[in-house]
Structure 1
Amino acid sequence: MALEITDSNFEEKVLNSDKPVLVDFWAEWCGPCRMVGPIIEEVSNEYKDKALVAKLDVDSNQEFAAKYGVRNIPTVLFFKGGELVDRKVGVAPKENYTETLDNLI
């Protein structure tokens, strides 16, 4: 299951991770986010030992959404070594996420 990230633990969990990190920026009311959610959960289960897969609710946690310029949701950001390395905006097939993670591992 994807880890719930908040503004208060973003730095610790995402930026200080020794594994590549995928963060799904989403909101409860967002229809496309509900389409991406099950895909993110599948990726989380498949990559649990190789990468950190997380979700951040932008309604409750706006600091890092603003910092990384998340203006549309769903937006999925990829981090490695504390640096933002890629982003996917909107609904995308699972392969788009797994291919990016594979390149970071």
Structure 2
Amino acid sequence: MLLQKLNASQFEEIIYTDGNPSLVIFSRKSCHVCKEVMPVLEDLQSKYEGKFGFYYVDVEENKAVFQRFSLKGVPQILFFNFGEYQGKLSGKVEDEQIEEKISQVLKA
């Protein structure tokens, strides 16, 4: 299942207004590492359906959202719960690392 792509207004609504536990990967089409991480997130998405949101932001199309968090490079996976930033993972990450962070966010 593909991750839902967010623009700036959708990001505001889903992350801050709805406030459900979620992760957002910041990536770009030309990023090779991003292309390796996306399938991992897509696989995990079905496991957490209804409990945890999985989204992505294309940094070339939404620079303002990317710059808001002072991120350096991609991929960056940011975690949120109740509209609050809960941490991030950077670079090539394995499913175990992502699931550990999801577990921490769900307990927060």
Identify the TM-score tier after normalising by the shorter chain: over 0.9
1:16 counterpart SS class: helix
2:100 counterpart residue number: 99
1:60 counterpart residue number: 61
Per-residue deviation, 1:65: 0.6
Moved more, 80-89 or 8-17: 8-17
Residues 1-105 of structure 1: pairs in structure 2 closer than 5 A: 1=1, 2-105=3-106
Q: Percent identity of the aligned residues?
A: 27
Query: How many matched pairs?
Result: 105
Amino acid at match of 1:13: I
Distance 2:33 2:64 in 1: 22
Moved more, 63-72 or 24-33: 63-72
| Contact kept? 2:79, 2:87, Cα under 8 Å | yes
TM value normalised by structure 1: 0.94
For structure 2, the residue ranges without an aligned partner over 5 or more in a row are none
Distance 2:18 2:105 in 1: 13
Higher relative helix content: 2
| Contact kept? 1:25, 1:57, Cα under 8 Å | yes
2:8 counterpart SS class: coil
TM value normalised by structure 2: 0.91
Distance 1:85 1:61 in 2: 21
| Contact kept? 2:20, 2:83, Cα under 8 Å | no
* Alpha-carbon RMSD: 1.1
Residue by residue over 1:17-37, the C-alpha shift from the partner in whole angstroms, topping out at 9 and shown as x without a partner, is: 342110000000000000101
For structure 1, the residue ranges without an aligned partner over 5 or more in a row are none
